[in-house]
Amino acid sequence: MENRDYEQMNPPGGHPVKMWTRGVPVEPEAKEQLSRLARLPFIYHHVAVMPDVHLGKGSTIGSVIPTLGAVIPAAVGVDIGCGMMAAKTTLRAADLPDNLGKLRSAIEEAIPHGMSPKTRGHKGRDAGSWNNPPPPVDAGWARLKDEFDQLCRKWPKLRNTNNYKHLGTLGSGNHFVEICLDEEGFVWLMLHSGSRGVGNAIGTHFIELARQDMRKHMVNLPDQDLAYLEEGTRHYDDYVEAVGWAQKFARVNREVMMHNLVRAVRSVIPKPFETHVEAVNCHHNYVQQERHFGKDVLVTRKGAVSAREGELGIIPGSMGARSFIVRGKGNPESFNSCSHGAGRTMSRTEAKRRFTVQDAREATAGIECRKDEGVIDEIPMAYKDIDAVMRAQSELVEVVHTLKQVVCVKG
């Protein structure tokens, strides 16, 4: 029998599904979802599955989906370009203040988020947006505005989204900002966010257009969230253009937040320091053209990170667990990919039903963070064991730095 680092499913009438999940539980519903995905005719070669895989909308989170001649908007999702940014500083653990609460408050003031004092009282789409955007937001928006104006000529409704006022903001849910320490005691700044309201609007719009196309052409799908856009059609070309811009927005969003995060840390810590000593900015919900097994294909990473040989990436653990800066090994069978985190083992609703505020406090002991009902769904026990996840993908990445958070601001 061939000795390989992945397990393989062979769905009847479908393409192979290669899974880097040894030692990590995978729910039966996720396997069934992968089987449905692998039966689509435009899947190229095989589907690659990362160890953080779990049930998602249409396709599993933690999957790498190569396609020829079509794209699935719901596989990319509505948080287009969601990803991570991390930067090492020259600060050491001893340079941090004894009262980490001051540091957390400075971060909450500098970066609007779901519970930000700047936006308290706002609801719905306006939660976590700027009231008075600072200069870094203007500088970032200048890099995005011309392309955005072009998109708005096609879809005027995009102007009604919180685009400019969401740039440099965190959002809610599992988005976060953290101060971490690496194995040598150096301080790292890390954050997780995406394309915010405008990316949501773009994703939602094209998911519906794909469903309309399926109805128009009477395409029978096992799941309407697998609705796709065919290459050569107007909707396909428009989606590629719009999703590319949203991914650029997400990257700039993280850069603006990092700028403001550095400023917030400097307002609390008087010691001069440098940052971006080692900086990584990577998507984990996105689509782009790549070359694999001799063909140019579209690769959708739904909760997965690019891990080309030598490429740096970020794999965060859950709140209270370790995170990792990794270097890709360029494994061709995974389409040069790795996991984007630990991966949930239960829904947010189930986590809130099963755990208490006291459980959250105990799980995040020693970390300056919220410890209330609003973050119970992000409790570490709702996620897979990050150490098992890392072992399962040892042939995909090598660990460069191990990070442990000391301050965490949740969206």
Q: Which residues pair with 85 in a beta bridge?
A: 191, 281
For residue 232 the two structure tokens come to 């050569």
Does residue 258 sit in helix, strand or coil?
helix
Integer-rounded Cα radius of gyration of the chain: 21
Kindly report, residue by residue over 31-90, the tens digit of the pLDDT.
999 999 999 999 999 999 999 999 998 899 999 999 999 999 999 999 999 999 999 999
Going 208 to 213 to 216 to 217, the CA torsion angle's sign is negative
Residue range 128-145: average pLDDT? 93
Q: How many CB atoms lie within 10 A of CB 90?
A: 13
Q: Which residues are catalytic?
A: 340
Helices (H), 73-134: 73-76, 100-110
- Per-residue model confidence (pLDDT) at position 128: 81
pLDDT tens, position by position, 315-339: 998 877 899 999 999 999 999 999 9
CA-based end-to-end distance of the chain: 47
Inform me whether the pLDDT recorded for 123 exceeds 70: no
The pLDDT > 90 percentage for the chain reads 82
Give the alpha-carbon dihedral of 80, 130, 376, 62, to 10 degrees: 10
The pTM assigned to this predicted structure is 0.94
What is the DSSP code string of 153-195?
HH-GGGGGS--GGGTT---STT-EEEEEE-TTSEEEEEEEE--
Where along the chain do its domains lie?
7-348+376-410
Residue with tokens 């909707």: 235
- HSE value, Cβ hemisphere, 13 Å, CA-based, for 63: 31
Q: Is the pLDDT of residue 296 over 50?
A: yes
Distance CA 366, CA 265 (A): 19
267 pLDDT tier (thresholds 50, 70, 90)? very high
At residue 378, does pLDDT exceed 50?
yes
Query: Which candidate, 5, 89, 19, 24, places its Cα nearest to that of 49?
Result: 19
Cα angle 203, 204, 210 (rounded to 5 degrees) comes to 85
Measuring CA to CA, which residue among 392, 360, 391 is closest to residue 377? 360
Instruction: Summarize pLDDT for 168-205 with one digit per residue, the tens.
Output: 999 988 899 999 999 999 999 999 999 999 999 999 99
Q: pLDDT at position 374, please?
A: 83
DSSP 43: B
**Amino acid, res. 139:** A
Site of tokens 């599904």: 17
Q: How far is CA 357 from CA 23, 174, 378, in A?
A: 30, 17, 11
CA distance 241 to 227: 18
Tell me what the pLDDT averaged over the chain comes to. Answer: 93
* pLDDT (0 to 100) of residue 276: 82
Residue type, 240: V
Length of the chain: 411
* Predicted pLDDT at 2: 59
What superfamily would CATH give domain 7-348+376-410? Answer: tRNA-splicing ligase RtcB (3.90.1860.10)
